[in-house]
Chains A and B, each alone.
Chain A
Amino acid sequence: MLDFFLGHYAYWFTIILLAIGLYGMLMKKNLVKKTIGLSIFQAGVILFFVSVAMKEGATVPVKAYGLPVSEAANYMNALPHTLMLTAIVVGVATLGVAFALIINIYNRYGTLNEEELLDKIQ
């Protein structure tokens, strides 16, 4: 049982991060805090990909002397990492849009607290 947990510790970290992110988005009233939760959620997914590509004792996927290319086990899989570069860019863009919206909401209603916001909307 313990082995199961330890063996999948990267998965558990991902799940914990996702849970924290979800908690932030659902329970926090402040829109900025919700956005922080969103970022944590995305980071969880990104870290998952990164951990998947990690290999014990392997090196960066640049051809090195003494490590034959034919033995792929010597190299880490670069693809997930590169994918995550894109995902990080997406995350940044999302944050940008989110903050633009938040500024806009603040200018219109003068508050970022969701409850007050809903009161003012009604």
Chain B
Amino acid sequence: MIGSEIPALIPVTYILFAILIPVIGLWKREIVWHLSLLGTGIATLFSAWGMMHLIQTGETIRYFFGGWMPPVGIEFVYDGLAAFIVLVINAIAFLVLIHSKEISKVEFPGKKMAYYTVSMLLMLGFNGMVLTGDLFNLYVFLEISSLSSYALIAIGEKRAPYAAFRYLIIGTVGGSLYLLGVGFLYTVTGTLNIIDMHEMLPMVIGHSSVIAALILMIVGVGVKAALFPLHGWLPDSYTFASSTSSALIAPIGTKVAAYILFRVVLFLFGVELIDEQLPVTTIIGVFAGIGILYGSIMAIAQSELKKMLAYSSVSQIGYIIMGISLANPFGFIGAVLHILNHAMMKALLFLVSGSMRLKEGHSLITKFDNSYRKKYPWTMAAFTTAAISMVGLPPLAGFFSKWYLALGTIDNSNWLLLAVILISSLLNAVYFFRILEKVYLNNPETESSEETEILEQDEVGFSMMFPMAVMATGLLLVGIFNAYIVNVIFTMFPAGF
């Protein structure tokens, strides 16, 4: 039955569309946007279907390519966590690509075909990374997604290629370190399959190669996940890339890398083995905590919306990694939920910044004023929703992921990280309310209140409003009905919880 083919169907869809878009695009250039939507749409449907299938049957699908059983062959593992992440990233990509219709006309008019082709490849890479059950295969998909994201980031402002080049250097080093780590593990276990290796590891855990491998893998993936202090590439890349690229890569890219950390720390090694030789989780937790504070403080210092959001991403990814480092059920729930929440919030915020660039020609916070409230009431309402969720006020989604993370820190009696969560919420409030104040209140110094009354509404078009509205509503719904999602997350727990 077709349900068991889902893991293969999703990446195949992207491969298909990565070929279709240039072929058809040569003939009919106008429809590449529609094709890319079709591609992500089909993938989203497949992942939604797969998720439903999984919830109903409760069985992990292991798909063996070409019928070769592991450890010889490559398998895709479609378990609860993978299904969830795949659904999140495909749905977000679908929404972001809807939004790109207008932006593509302005920011990369001649490169639409190339752009959408590469974005299909990007999604192929991300989906492959999530689905694969093979460590080397993971590296290949990692590089596919990375190479596509270098290309996507380079399509942007004047400074974008240089930012992309820097990212390329750092990112490739990260990828190579990960590969080296995999090599070390291979030498001691003789397998590359995650499930297989998980069973072998207890026998070789004392070997020094294993600990070296673990460190190399965490550092390598940490670069991709922008784990502090390996985040240096992120702010410039997100800022100078085109608005669509940032909205596509920021919510998804670092999340997928964080997901790899999930796999490595909690599934490959598992709760019992991870701290066997070195207090790995503690070290990750400390860096995550510093990253959260550092990102928030740097975000406050920025005067450009996209750059602020980029630093905020550094901070938010810290939450997810902190959840992993707690290695307990609440931390896990918080981290997985935060992947969903932050993907929605960050995508929404980047979409708003893209809309602002399109309408106003800039996204400088210093130039925001209260005319926006009149001109773009709905965009600003969406922005406010995302901002409040970022600050973590109930009943929006952001509150609940923080709530579970907080419970996780309490369970571990890790008061320091609890304090970090609380302080960073306040810092978030500082940088978001600063913008809200500008947008919603008269500037007491300029006294321009009379002018704003006569401004006409100049809201963005439907293709831009729709994704933003969906995500804003999503934030509220996820917040209110998060218990249903958490009940699903319960089924995703790695062994040992």
Given A38-B173, A105-B161, do A97 and B183 touch, yes or no (CB 8 Å)? no
CB < 8 Å A-B pair total: 72
Is B165 part of the contact surface with A, judged by Cβ < 8 Å?
yes
- Nearest Cβ in chain A — how far from B136, in angstroms? 5
Given A105-B165, A117-B162, do A86 and B180 touch, yes or no (CB 8 Å)? no
- Total A residues in contact with B, Cβ cutoff 8 Å: 32
Is B147 part of the contact surface with A, judged by Cβ < 8 Å?
yes
- Nearest Cβ in chain A — how far from B256, in angstroms? 17
Is B147 touching A80 in the complex (CB atoms < 8 A)?
Answer: no
B147: chain A residues within 8 A (beta carbon): 93-94, 97
Is B161 touching A101 in the complex (CB atoms < 8 A)?
Answer: yes
- Nearest Cβ in chain B — how far from A39, in angstroms? 9
Is A94 touching B173 in the complex (CB atoms < 8 A)?
Answer: no
Is A97 touching B150 in the complex (CB atoms < 8 A)?
Answer: yes
Is B151 touching A97 in the complex (CB atoms < 8 A)?
Answer: yes
The one of A45, A86, A121 in contact with B162, judged by C-beta atoms closer than 8 angstroms, is A121
Measured CA separation A45–B183 after assembly (Å): 9
- Total B residues in contact with A, Cβ cutoff 8 Å: 26
- Nearest Cβ in chain A — how far from B74, in angstroms? 11
- Nearest Cβ in chain B — how far from A11, in angstroms? 10
Given A48-B183, A93-B143, do A101 and B172 touch, yes or no (CB 8 Å)? no
Is A98 touching B165 in the complex (CB atoms < 8 A)?
Answer: yes
A83 and chain B: residue at smallest CB distance? B136
Measured CA separation A98–B146 after assembly (Å): 12
The one of B140, B165, B172 in contact with A42, judged by C-beta atoms closer than 8 angstroms, is B172
A121: chain B residues within 8 A (beta carbon): 159, 162
Name the interface residues of B132-191: CB closer than 8 Å to any CB of A: 136, 139-140, 143, 147, 150-151, 154, 158-159, 161-162, 164-165, 168-169, 172-173, 175-176, 179-180, 183, 186-187
Is B165 touching A102 in the complex (CB atoms < 8 A)?
Answer: yes
B183: chain A residues within 8 A (beta carbon): 45, 48-49, 52, 80
Measured CA separation A60–B346 after assembly (Å): 52
- Nearest Cβ in chain A — how far from B219, in angstroms? 13
Measured CA separation A87–B139 after assembly (Å): 9
Which one of B147, B165, B179 has the greatest number of beta carbons of chain A within 10 Å?
Answer: B165
Given A93-B147, A97-B151, do A38 and B187 touch, yes or no (CB 8 Å)? no
A34: chain B residues within 8 A (beta carbon): 169
Complex interface bits, A97-109 against B, C-beta within 8 A gives 1, otherwise 0: 1101110110011
B187: chain A residues within 8 A (beta carbon): 52
A108 and chain B: residue at smallest CB distance? B158
Chief secondary structure at chain B's binding surface: helix
Is A41 part of the contact surface with B, judged by Cβ < 8 Å?
yes
Is A90 touching B168 in the complex (CB atoms < 8 A)?
Answer: no
Is A86 touching B140 in the complex (CB atoms < 8 A)?
Answer: yes
Is B165 touching A41 in the complex (CB atoms < 8 A)?
Answer: no
B154: chain A residues within 8 A (beta carbon): 100-101, 104
The one of A22, A31, A48, A52 in contact with B165, judged by C-beta atoms closer than 8 angstroms, is A31
Is A45 touching B165 in the complex (CB atoms < 8 A)?
Answer: no
Which one of A31, A42, A87 has the greatest number of beta carbons of chain B within 10 Å?
Answer: A87
Measured CA separation A108–B158 after assembly (Å): 7
- Nearest Cβ in chain A — how far from B400, in angstroms? 39
A101: chain B residues within 8 A (beta carbon): 150, 154, 161-162, 164-165, 168
Measured CA separation A41–B168 after assembly (Å): 13
Measured CA separation A49–B168 after assembly (Å): 23
Complex interface bits, B483-497 against A, C-beta within 8 A gives 1, otherwise 0: 000000000000000
B140: chain A residues within 8 A (beta carbon): 86, 90
A31: chain B residues within 8 A (beta carbon): 165
The one of B150, B158, B176 in contact with A41, judged by C-beta atoms closer than 8 angstroms, is B176
A93 and chain B: residue at smallest CB distance? B147
- Nearest Cβ in chain B — how far from A118, in angstroms? 9
Measured CA separation A87–B172 after assembly (Å): 12
A-B contact pairs, 18 of them (CB 8 A): A25-B169, A31-B165, A34-B169, A38-B173, A41-B173, A41-B176, A44-B176, A45-B176, A80-B186, A90-B140, A90-B175, A93-B147, A97-B150, A101-B165, A104-B154, A104-B161, A105-B165, A109-B162
What is A's interface to B at a CB cutoff of 8 Å? Answer: 22, 25, 31, 34-35, 38, 41-42, 44-45, 48-49, 52, 79-80, 83, 86-87, 90, 93-94, 97-98, 100-102, 104-105, 108-109, 117, 121
The 6 closest A-B pairs by CB, nearest first: A104-B161, A90-B143, A101-B165, A45-B176, A105-B161, A101-B161
Not counting A49-B183, A93-B143, a sample of 12 additional A-B residue pairs whose C-beta atoms are within 8 angstroms of each other reads A31-B165, A41-B173, A45-B179, A48-B180, A52-B183, A83-B136, A90-B139, A90-B143, A94-B168, A94-B172, A102-B165, A121-B159
